[in-house]
Structure 1
Amino acid sequence: MSEHNHKQSIAILIGAGVVGAVVGVGSTTTAGTGRAAVTKVAHGVAVATGVKRAREPQPGDHWGGCNDARAAGTAPIYRDEPGYRENMDGDGDGIACEPIR
């Protein structure tokens, strides 16, 4: 199996897991504590799969490079957000420190 197909298979399995989790816990969201638990799990899955950042950019952010921004959970950084610098945006598309694929 090629590396691309392997990564695609993993992404499909993760996506299926997320859908299954959402469907499986749907009834727990009617209670406040259930909603909070689902939100926490969904946030963790979104961060783990690269759909969401672990930490939003904050005023005053300045990273030595993309590895530092990624380690802080702030990457990717979009133009006009704190911490964005053109020299960290290798392809000039307005998104610095894009995920490594």
Structure 2
Amino acid sequence: MLGVAAALGGIVGAGSLAFSDDGRARIVGAVKPVAVQAGLMRARAPQPGDAWGGCDDARAAGTAPIYEGEPGYRPEMDGDSDGIACEPIR
């Protein structure tokens, strides 16, 4: 019973963080490095003026993958022509 109460308290506590700007920023700050490492999120969004020599450069900057219409996207960097350049290597 004590374990259930502790788990419920943890869930409610974490959920209440999401209701404030500071809480959301703390959650994103904790989750983002894990998501970037797992390849689920970019470390840096493409910026106007981005121009990469190739996908290795875009990945090194944390900007990959780059979607069609975003700064830095070039069809020659999209090997399978699906609108996503510099997809993660799996």
TM-score normalised according to structure 1 size: 0.68
What does 1:40-59 correspond to in 2, within 5 Å?
40-59=29-48
Instruction: Give ranges in structure 2 of 5+ residues lacking alignment.
Output: 1-9
Contact 1:28 1:35 in 2 (8 A): no
Give the equivalent residue in structure 2 for 1:88.
77
Q: Give the 4+ runs in structure 1 shifted more than 2 A.
A: 22-25, 30-37
Given the superposition, is the C-alpha separation of residues 27 and 80 from structure 1 closer, same or farther in structure 2, using an over 3 Å criterion?
Answer: closer
Given the superposition, is the C-alpha separation of residues 68 and 23 from structure 1 closer, same or farther in structure 2, using an over 3 Å criterion?
Answer: farther
Report whether the alignment pairs 1:37 with 2:26.
yes
Query: Would you say how many aligned residue pairs link Structure 1 and Structure 2?
Result: 80
Q: In terms of Rg, which structure is larger? A: 2
Give the equivalent residue in structure 2 for 1:5.
none
% identical equivalent positions: 60
Given the superposition, is the C-alpha separation of residues 96 and 27 from structure 1 closer, same or farther in structure 2, using an over 3 Å criterion?
Answer: closer
Given the superposition, is the C-alpha separation of residues 28 and 73 from structure 1 closer, same or farther in structure 2, using an over 3 Å criterion?
Answer: same
Instruction: Give ranges in structure 1 of 5+ residues lacking alignment.
Output: 1-21
- 1:26 is matched by which residue type in structure 2? A
What does 1:1-101 correspond to in 2, within 5 Å?
23=11, 26=14, 29=17, 33-101=22-90
Contact 1:25 1:38 in 2 (8 A): no
The SS at the match of 2:82 is: coil
TM-score normalised according to structure 2 size: 0.75
Question: Cα RMSD between the aligned structures?
Answer: 2.3
Contact 1:56 1:74 in 2 (8 A): yes
